[in-house]
Amino acid sequence: MNAIQIYGGNCLEGQIKIQGSKNAALPILAAALLINGICEIENCPDISDVYHMIRLMESLCCTIDRNGHTLKINARQLASHIMPSDSVGVMRSSITLLGALLARTGNVSMQYPGGCVIGQRPIDLHLQGLRRMGVVIEEREDGFGAYAEKLVGTVHKLPFVSVGATENLILAAVLAQGETVIENAAREPEIYVLCDFLNQAGARIKGAGTSRLVIEGVKALHEVSYRIPADRIVAGTYLSACLCSGGEVFLQEAPCTQMGAVIMAASAMGAEAYESREGLHVICRKRRKMPPKLWTDSYPGFPTDLQSAFLTAMTLAEGTGMLEETIFENRFRIVPELQKMGAKITYRKNMVMVEGVTCLHGSLLKAEELRGGAALVLAGAAAEGATTVLNRHFIERGYEDICKDLRMLGIKCEKTNWEERND
């Protein structure tokens, strides 16, 4: 079974460069389908979610040339409208292709993207919004067909913030007839970046980064080159690693302006954080303190994707603390794994109470999803002794090479294969 072996107990020392943003890259790859020509995407992270998105797009007759972190995408020959179920099943973000494909072909057939262990991950807001733009959706046993003679602009009032639904409706609106308004739109930096990419390709989107987007449909988009910004969640993961293990790190290219809530929470735990255009300098010399009550929220609140990493840091902090998850219904899956290491956590529904301990013990742990898996690696780095985290493939969905990054910061950490011994 693929795994990661970590030998804990060292402080972090050193610097690393933060990779391009997974959650900015995926919708921008989908947006490339709207361009009847070639677009060049730089600083695209080399992770399995991007690999699956590329395969999915190639199955739709896109040609994609990859040279390191740069992708050259040619969507001129966009033909097939049937998304292969193996890729859709593997990668939830395939749903973001729906709006773009409808805008280009008017006809999409796909299976429902799976939920995952953190939650059901429904797509009702996506489908309701598209229906309001003239899309006919025929639901079937395992999926659905979506058809639209033409997409017509309208006013969407989203009942709650959804990053994916906002992205899908933007992609359906840029070539639609007339004006589309999205109220209660997500304000995540990834939405701002998607709108910036589209505007550079000739779209007419106003209000990027605010909760009200106004999109005037245009006839066509033109070719464009774009650089994906650094990943705020990956940067926050290594900031959390410093909170867990202590030490001093420089996170080159960390997008500090997008990390306000995270940096504030780290400072409340006693970290010294120095922001600059070049990146984020973090120093943790004393034992961390428990933060005041922490809860996840849509941007600019504390990101749900760093909840597991901060929970791990809290298990080693002084005092007792509370952490509430308000976005996903099942995102405390790592609690039993941390308890195996000696963490003192009690939880009910979407709230955990943590009583800090002075050390965690290395253990055999099992990752069940991307961000929780990364948090277990941080726990291993901070623990005494050796830790094995199984199911490395979950972590490789979003981190180019977490072992290499942690080794560059002084942690002994390597990919391995783990065989269950029956002795």
Window 14-43: residues binding ligand EPZ (CB under 6 A): 22-23, 26
DSSP per-residue string spanning 177-234: BSEEEEET----HHHHHHHHHHHHTT-EEE-TTSSEEEEE--S----EEEEPPB-HHH
Among 45, 164, 217, 279, binds ligand EPZ (CB under 6 A): 164
Among 81, 104, 366, 371, binds ligand EPZ (CB under 6 A): 371
Provide the mask over 69-98, with x wherever binding to ligand EPZ is found by CB under 6 A and - wherever it is not. Answer: ------------------------x-----
By CB under 6 A, tell whether 393 contacts ligand EPZ: no
Among 29, 163, 354, 413, binds ligand EPZ (CB under 6 A): 163
Considering the complex, state which of residue 30 and residue 176 has its C-beta at the smaller distance from ligand EPZ: 30
Say whether the peptide bond before residue 300 is cis (omega within 30 degrees of 0).
yes
Among 103, 370, 381, 406, binds ligand EPZ (CB under 6 A): 370
Window contacting ligand EPZ (CB under 6 A); options: 141-149, 158-166, 210-218, 317-325: 158-166
Contact 161, 298 (CB under 8 A): yes
Considering the complex, state which of residue 226 and residue 328 has its C-beta at the smaller distance from ligand EPZ: 328
Among 310, 328, 332, 394, binds ligand EPZ (CB under 6 A): 328
By CB under 6 A, tell whether 228 contacts ligand EPZ: no
Q: By beta-carbon distance, which residue lies closest to ligand EPZ?
A: 164
* Amino acid present at 389: V
Window contacting ligand EPZ (CB under 6 A); options: 157-165, 254-262, 346-354, 356-364: 157-165
DSSP E strand boundaries for 75-178: 107-111, 136-139, 143-147, 155-157
Window contacting ligand EPZ (CB under 6 A); options: 6-14, 74-82, 122-130, 147-155: 122-130
Among 5, 21, 43, 162, binds ligand EPZ (CB under 6 A): 162
Q: Is 336 left (phi over 0), alpha (psi -120 to 50) or beta?
A: alpha
Contact 60, 80 (CB under 8 A): yes
C-alpha to C-alpha distance for 180 and 360, rounded to whole angstroms: 52
Considering the complex, state which of residue 22 and residue 156 has its C-beta at the smaller distance from ligand EPZ: 22
* Amino acid present at 312: T
Contact 347, 370 (CB under 8 A): no
By CB under 6 A, tell whether 123 contacts ligand EPZ: yes
Considering the complex, state which of residue 71 and residue 290 has its C-beta at the smaller distance from ligand EPZ: 71
Considering the complex, state which of residue 74 and residue 298 has its C-beta at the smaller distance from ligand EPZ: 298
Contact 311, 382 (CB under 8 A): no
By CB under 6 A, tell whether 343 contacts ligand EPZ: no
- Residues in contact with ligand EPZ, counted by CB under 6 A, come to a total of 24
Provide the mask over 288-307, with x wherever binding to ligand EPZ is found by CB under 6 A and - wherever it is not. Answer: ----------------xx--
DSSP tag of 290: P
Window contacting ligand EPZ (CB under 6 A); options: 34-42, 116-124, 150-158, 172-180: 116-124
Give the 3-state secondary structure percentages of the chain, helix then strand then coil, rounded to 5: 35, 30, 35
Contact 379, 6 (CB under 8 A): no
By CB under 6 A, tell whether 153 contacts ligand EPZ: no
Cα–Cα distances in angstroms (integers) from residue 54 to residues 49, 145, 164, 400, in the given order: 9, 22, 18, 16
Determine how β-strand 70-74 pairs with β-strand 63-67: antiparallel
Nearest 5°: CA angle at 108, between 148 and 78?
Answer: 100
DSSP tag of 315: T
Contact 82, 119 (CB under 8 A): no
By CB under 6 A, tell whether 121 contacts ligand EPZ: yes
Q: Largest Cα–Cα distance of the chain, in whole Å?
A: 69
Closest contact distance (angstroms) between CB of 92 and ligand EPZ is 6
Q: Is 116 part of the annotated catalytic residue set?
A: yes
Window contacting ligand EPZ (CB under 6 A); options: 101-109, 113-121, 243-251, 277-285: 113-121
By CB under 6 A, tell whether 327 contacts ligand EPZ: yes
Q: Which residue has the tokens 């033409």?
A: 150
Using only C-alpha atoms, the chain has a radius of gyration, in whole angstroms, of 22
By CB under 6 A, tell whether 124 contacts ligand EPZ: yes
Residue from 116, 244, 359, 413 carrying the catalytic annotation: 116
Residues serving a catalytic function are 116
Site residues (vs ligand EPZ, CB under 6 A)? 22-23, 26, 93, 119-126, 162-165, 190, 304-305, 327-328, 370-371, 398
